[in-house]
């Protein structure tokens, strides 16, 4: 083929297949993107587009789609895939060629899906992915016979190996040459039960004729599951994993964090030495270094929590955890498939809320969305860590558990418990006419996490955090520094300069509303920009106290807090952030995913009310106990 053949339009490919077959891995390999890949069904819930160029110079647009077992469109993610394949999406032509991605070790459901796809009239190409695993297990597939039986071309690939997608890239040209032009949306009717059965029989027949499989299932999976899915032992293991994860967030990160925090302190001191006293010095030292710096020091913690979650996801543990938790969550009115979105929310509620698209029942999905922000997201880590480090002694309990880590774990547990409680209340009072929806989830074979993909995953998240620090957090800090510095006090004024600033005026105006829960005006001021991103609250406190306290306070915000707040105030502040009305971006995602403002407002109001109530109770009890 020569390049002259390929002038003209872009060529549109779409990746379709059952969940967890490696579509996104292939998408990343072909387009060089870094979309999320993990070993469980339902990772991709959006349509993602990318591009690549074939060896002959053809421009190709590639769509990555959510996995689906059929074209039925049961849940929001499956509907996206169905609509793209059928060309039902407004303003979008159906793909020129559908790449049917199959997990070569697990062909039964894929072949049935392909037979169903054939009915749509789209040109198809089957990609036998994970060919490395199939080989290792001794599965042999007669590729030519399979192609003949299906009546479509079949190629093999190893999406996660360098060069493993070359065959596909190269042969795209070949297929592109012989395609019928784009067709209008086909007449398509949902597959009937009789058809489904017939397709499955046909698929099983093709497998019998073209595939030989060893009779024994994957031995790693069998052995690990015997332990991990033990009815009692499994739950103990799950609890241990979570416990170790939260302890690690606290104890492993501490040395690195101190290093970072000392460096920022030294940097601040340097600025103070080099620059003359004045606005510029104050801006750099108090606004940038004390503000943004106090958020940046939490990078190690963020990395550790993501590392844990990524390892669990890549190994294939998530679906097992969902299995173990199904009945327990069911008691609180949650669907088993809510588990993975909720666990992802420990990282950030936004991907967690997006991941609820895999839940087909609307009520189940809505409940999950409402409680996802109660899961302790990584943005709360800075707040928790700062307060805990300042107020809780770093002693060991029973000789080996770090007390600070234990308190941290306790805060996570309170978050989880209140999420379950809220779900329980919703079940009883609001959405009552409800039949439990079916729970069916594939438990994929375990895969040893690959170092490279974990590394990519962690660096991507770390970059996102730094990017946020450089944009949202930075701009909020500039705002706070400005508010806390202007207007400047009149000449000869008494007391700290900050008392004359706008920040103090705003804070003091709102303080009466919050004095019942023990918040002073500095906290109130920090809460407002905390709506943009929760970590900003920490940075804002850093800036406010740095400006107030002058040079000495700038590098030790923890010490400043310890000397200025009572323990009761600190505990009340922690309680507030367990529920803290979430950040603006979470609210925006809730509005988008629920299709209206109503549920966004409900979430905001209920979380605000819970936060106030929790702080009130905490504060009153603490004061009564003499900690005020």
Ligand X SMILES: Nc1nc2c(ncn2[C@@H]2O[C@H](COP(=O)(O)OP(=O)(O)OP(=O)(O)O)[C@@H](O)[C@H]2O)c(=O)[nH]1
**Positions 408 through 437 that interact with another protein (CB under 8 A):** 436
Determine contact, residues 15/65, Cβ cutoff 8 Å: yes
Position among 32, 255, 438, 470 found at the interface with another protein (CB under 8 A): 438
Instruction: Give the CB-nearest residue to ligand X.
Output: 67
| Nearer to another protein among residue 442 and residue 499 (C-beta) | 442
Spacing of C-alpha 299 from chain mean position: 16
CA distances from 439 to 60, 68, 326, 335 (A): 38, 15, 8, 7
By the rule CB under 6 A, 129 interacts with ligand X = yes
CB neighbourhood size of 449 (10 A): 18
- Residue 531 binding target from another protein, Mg ion, ligand X, none, CB below 5 to 8 Å by type: none
Min CB(184)–another protein separation in Å: 28
Q: Please, which residues bridge with residue 205 across strands?
A: none
CA dihedral 42→48→51→54, nearest 10 degrees, is 30
ω before 487 within 30° of 0 (cis)? Answer: yes
CA separation for the pair 268, 3 (Å, rounded): 59
- Residue 20 binding target from ligand X, another protein, Mg ion, none, CB below 5 to 8 Å by type: ligand X
Using CB under 5 A, which of the segments 4-12, 17-25, 164-172, 590-598 binds Mg ion?
Answer: 17-25
By the rule CB under 5 A, 81 interacts with Mg ion = no
Min CB(39)–ligand X separation in Å: 4
| Nearer to another protein among residue 200 and residue 263 (C-beta) | 200
Determine contact, residues 597/591, Cβ cutoff 8 Å: yes
Token pair belonging to 25: 């891995």
Specify the pairing of strand 48-53 against strand 97-103.
unpaired
Position among 274, 440, 451, 491 found at the interface with another protein (CB under 8 A): 440
Backbone angles phi and psi of 316, in degrees to 5: 110, 15
Min CB(70)–another protein separation in Å: 5
Number of residues that bind ligand X (CB under 6 A): 27
DSSP 286: I
Min CB(567)–another protein separation in Å: 39
**Positions 193 through 222 that interact with another protein (CB under 8 A):** 193, 196-197, 200-201, 204, 213, 217, 221
DSSP secondary structure of 270-317: HHHHHSPSSHHHHIIIIIIIIIIHHHHTTHHHHHHHHHHHHHHHHHTH
Token pair belonging to 11: 């060529």
Contacts of 494 by beta carbon, 8 Å cutoff, 6+ apart: none
CA distances from 413 to 239, 242, 243, 332, 423 (A): 11, 10, 10, 15, 15
By the rule CB under 6 A, 341 interacts with ligand X = no
Min CB(116)–ligand X separation in Å: 17
Angle at 125 between CA 38 and CA 191, to 5 degrees: 85
**Positions 28 through 67 that interact with ligand X (CB under 6 A):** 37-39, 41-44, 66-67
- Residue 324 binding target from ligand X, Mg ion, another protein, none, CB below 5 to 8 Å by type: another protein
Spacing of C-alpha 551 from chain mean position: 39
- Residue 319 binding target from ligand X, Mg ion, another protein, none, CB below 5 to 8 Å by type: another protein
Min CB(221)–ligand X separation in Å: 13
Min CB(196)–another protein separation in Å: 5
Position among 21, 24, 282, 423 found at the interface with Mg ion (CB under 5 A): 24
Give the sign of the dihedral formed by CA 82, CA 85, CA 87, CA 93.
positive
CA separation for the pair 569, 627 (Å, rounded): 9
- Residue 200 binding target from another protein, Mg ion, ligand X, none, CB below 5 to 8 Å by type: another protein
Determine contact, residues 93/87, Cβ cutoff 8 Å: yes
Position among 6, 12, 16, 24 found at the interface with ligand X (CB under 6 A): 24
User: From its phi and psi, is residue 398 left (phi > 0), alpha (psi between -120 and 50) or beta?
Assistant: left
| Nearer to another protein among residue 227 and residue 609 (C-beta) | 227
CA separation for the pair 226, 447 (Å, rounded): 16
| Nearer to Mg ion among residue 22 and residue 549 (C-beta) | 22
| Nearer to another protein among residue 55 and residue 217 (C-beta) | 217
Reduce the DSSP state of residue 165 to 3 states and report it.
Answer: coil
Mask for 34-73, x = binds Mg ion (CB under 5 A): ---------xx-----------------------------
By the rule CB under 8 A, 234 interacts with another protein = yes
By the rule CB under 8 A, 13 interacts with another protein = no
Min CB(555)–ligand X separation in Å: 43
Reduce the DSSP state of residue 129 to 3 states and report it.
Answer: strand
Determine contact, residues 578/529, Cβ cutoff 8 Å: no
Mask for 95-124, x = binds another protein (CB under 8 A): ----------xx-xx---------------
C-alpha closest to that of 553 among 285, 292, 288, 293: 285
By the rule CB under 6 A, 159 interacts with ligand X = yes
Min CB(405)–another protein separation in Å: 27
Contacts of 69 by beta carbon, 8 Å cutoff, 6+ apart: 18, 19, 109, 113
Position among 142, 166, 442, 499 found at the interface with another protein (CB under 8 A): 442
Contacts with ligand X by CB under 6 A lie at: 17, 19-25, 37-39, 41-44, 66-67, 129-130, 132-133, 158-160, 314, 447, 453
Q: Which residues bind another protein (CB under 8 A)?
A: 69-70, 72, 74, 105-106, 108-109, 193, 196-197, 200-201, 204, 213, 217, 221, 225, 229-232, 234-235, 319, 322-324, 326-328, 336, 436, 438-443
């Amino acid at each position: 083929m020569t390049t002259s053949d390929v002038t003209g339009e872009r060529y549109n490919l779409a990746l379709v297949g059952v969940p967890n077959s490696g579509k996104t891995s292939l998408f990343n390999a072909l387009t060089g993107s870094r979309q999320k890949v993990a070993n469980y069904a339902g990772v991709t819930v959006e349509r993602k587009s990318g591009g690549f160029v074939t060896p002959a110079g053809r421009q190709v647009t590639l769509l990555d789609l959510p996995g689906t077992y059929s074209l039925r469109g049961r849940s929001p993610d499956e509907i996206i895939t169905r609509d793209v394949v059928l060309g039902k999406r407004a303003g979008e032509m159906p793909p020129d060629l559908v790449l049917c991605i199959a997990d070569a070790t697990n062909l039964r459901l894929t072949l049935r899906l392909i037979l169903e796809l054939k009915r749509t009239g789209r040109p198809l190409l089957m990609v036998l992915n994970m060919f490395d695993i199939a080989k290792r297990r001794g599965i042999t597939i007669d590729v030519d016979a399979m192609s003949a039986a299906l009546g479509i071309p079949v190629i093999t690939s190893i999406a996660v190996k360098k060069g493993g997608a070359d065959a596909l890239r190269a042969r795209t040209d070949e297929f592109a040459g012989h395609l019928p032009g784009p067709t209008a949306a086909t007449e398509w009717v949902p597959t009937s039960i009789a058809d489904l059965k017939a397709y499955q029989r046909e698929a099983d027949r093709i497998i019998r004729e073209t595939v030989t499989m060893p009779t024994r299932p994957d031995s790693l999976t069998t052995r690990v599951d015997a332990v991990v899915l033990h009815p009692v032992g499994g739950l103990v293991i799950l609890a241990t994993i979570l416990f170790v994860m939260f302890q690690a967030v606290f104890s492993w990160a501490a040395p690195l964090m101190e290093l970072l925090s000392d460096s920022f302190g030294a940097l601040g001191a340097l600025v103070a030495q080099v620059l003359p006293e004045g606005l510029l010095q104050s801006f750099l030292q108090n606004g940038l270094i004390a503000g943004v710096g106090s958020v940046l020091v939490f990078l190690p913690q963020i990395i550790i929590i993501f590392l844990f979650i990524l390892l669990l996801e890549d190994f294939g543990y998530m679906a097992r955890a969902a299995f173990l938790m199904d009945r327990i969550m069911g008691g609180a009115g949650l669907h088993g498939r809510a588990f993975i979105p909720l666990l992802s929310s420990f990282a950030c509620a936004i991907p967690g809320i997006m991941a609820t698209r895999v839940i087909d029942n609307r009520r189940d999905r809505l409940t999950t969305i409402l409680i996802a922000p109660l899961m302790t997201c990584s943005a709360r880590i800075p707040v928790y860590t700062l307060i805990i480090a300042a107020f809780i002694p770093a002693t060991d309990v029973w000789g080996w558990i770090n007390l600070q880590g234990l308190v941290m774990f306790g805060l996570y547990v309170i978050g989880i418990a209140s999420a379950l409680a809220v779900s329980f209340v919703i079940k009883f009072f609001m959405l009552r006419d409800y039949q439990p929806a079916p729970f069916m989830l594939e438990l994929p074979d375990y895969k040893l996490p690959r170092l490279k993909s974990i590394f990519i995953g962690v660096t991507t998240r770390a970059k996102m955090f730094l990017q946020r620090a450089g944009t949202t957090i930075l701009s909020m800090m500039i705002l706070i520094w400005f508010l806390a510095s202007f207007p400047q006090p009149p000449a000869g004024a008494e007391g700290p300069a900050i008392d004359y600033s706008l920040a103090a005026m705003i804070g003091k105006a709102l303080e009466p509303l919050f004095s019942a829960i023990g918040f002073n005006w500095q906290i109130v001021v920090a809460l407002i920009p905390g709506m943009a991103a929760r970590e900003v609250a920490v940075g804002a406190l850093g800036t406010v106290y740095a400006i107030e306290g002058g040079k000495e306070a700038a590098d030790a915000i923890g010490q400043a807090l310890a000397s200025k707040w009572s323990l009761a105030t600190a505990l009340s502040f922690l309680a507030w952030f367990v529920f803290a009305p979430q950040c603006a971006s979470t609210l925006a995602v809730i509005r988008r995913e629920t299709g209206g403002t109503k549920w966004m407002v409900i979430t905001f109001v209920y979380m605000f009310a819970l936060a106030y109530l929790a702080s009130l109770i905490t504060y009153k009890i603490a004061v009564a106990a003499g900690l005020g």
